[in-house]
Amino acid sequence: MPSEAELRQEMVEIMVALEARGLNRGTSGNLAVRMGADMLVTPSGVTPARLSAGQMVRVRPDGTTDPGALKPSSEWRMHRGLLDRRPEANAVVHCHSRHATILACAGKEIPPLHYMVAVGGGASIPLAPYATFGSEELAEAVATALDGRSAALMANHGQVVVARSLRAALAIAEEVEEQAAVYWGTLAIGGPTLLDAAEMDRILERFGTYGQKR
Ligand SMILES: [Zn+2]
């Protein structure tokens, strides 16, 4: 188990990586990682370039934080809801990557157009219905869309990933953005040719071990 100090440092690195890989801009993305019954959440309104490990906010299950802590990301309820519902997952990555957000604003999920869509844990990457950012309704909508999955788009908002670690979640978020970009591109030239359900089942079966080989 990584120490709290290691997790805090990793959160800084993942926020910097999200921006460096073009998955996020400014202060919009946020992360959470499980710390026993509590979680560490990125602070609200700090750009990756100015983030430090000590600024990560420890949020208790009732939503309270340590005295003197920065305000946690407005999406802390969504992070809490996902970590509560997914005991096997330890990390949540949320970002407004461009192509995922384009699809989310057009009300489109990502259909089975490429085998890597299975990185989200299903035959498609679903779209959670819209609710106001930071709200309990959004936390609920996202948790429902992510049932049994690793990734979802969020209507008129962005994308969210749950995974065993922050690094795994970052890798999935990057692939979701790639698949969103590919789907967006196919929509400009007549739309994708989709893989059928039986093929997606075979792919998902192989993905049972896929991640461990990388
Ligand atoms: Zn957001």
pLDDT tens-place string over residues 4-28: 999 999 999 999 999 999 999 889 9
For residue 176, what are the CA distances in angstroms to 13, 46, 74, 198? 20, 25, 23, 22
Residue 214 confidence class, pLDDT cut points 50, 70, 90: very low
The confidence score (pLDDT) of residue 1 equals 81
Tokens of 3: 């120490």
Q: Check whether 213 has a pLDDT greater than 50.
A: no
The domain 4-213 is placed in CATH, from the list 3.40.225.10, 3.40.50.10860, 3.20.20.70, 3.50.50.60, at 3.40.225.10
CA of 26 to the centre of ligand 1 (A): 11
pLDDT tens-place string over residues 103-117: 999 999 999 999 999
Whether 93 and 169 have beta carbons less than 8 Å apart is answered as yes
Whether 171 and 109 have beta carbons less than 8 Å apart is answered as no
CA of 73 to the centre of ligand 1 (A): 9
**Cβ-based neighbours of 147, under 8 Å, separated by 6 or more:** 85
CA of 38 to the centre of ligand 1 (A): 21
Residue 210 confidence class, pLDDT cut points 50, 70, 90: low
User: What's the chain's average pLDDT?
Assistant: 95
Q: What average pLDDT score do residues 178-195 get? A: 98
Comparing CA positions, the residue from 129, 126, 89 lying closest to residue 109 is 126
Whether 48 and 15 have beta carbons less than 8 Å apart is answered as yes
CA of 160 to the centre of ligand 1 (A): 9
Domain regions of the chain by residue span = 4-213
Q: Check whether 198 has a pLDDT greater than 70.
A: yes
Tokens of 167: 């690094």
Whether 181 and 192 have beta carbons less than 8 Å apart is answered as no
Phi-psi region of 173 (alpha: psi -120 to 50; beta: other; left: phi over 0): alpha
Q: Check whether 211 has a pLDDT greater than 60.
A: no
DSSP H or E stretch at residue 162: strand 158-163
User: What are the residue numbers of the active site?
Assistant: 75
Tokens of 209: 């071990």
Collapsing DSSP to helix, strand or coil, 113 comes out as: coil
pLDDT tens-place string over residues 126-182: 999 999 999 999 999 999 999 999 999 999 999 999 999 999 999 999 999 999 999
Whether 58 and 76 have beta carbons less than 8 Å apart is answered as no
Tokens of 203: 């792919």
CA of 63 to the centre of ligand 1 (A): 19
Rounded to the nearest 5°, which phi and psi values hold at 12?
A: -60, -45
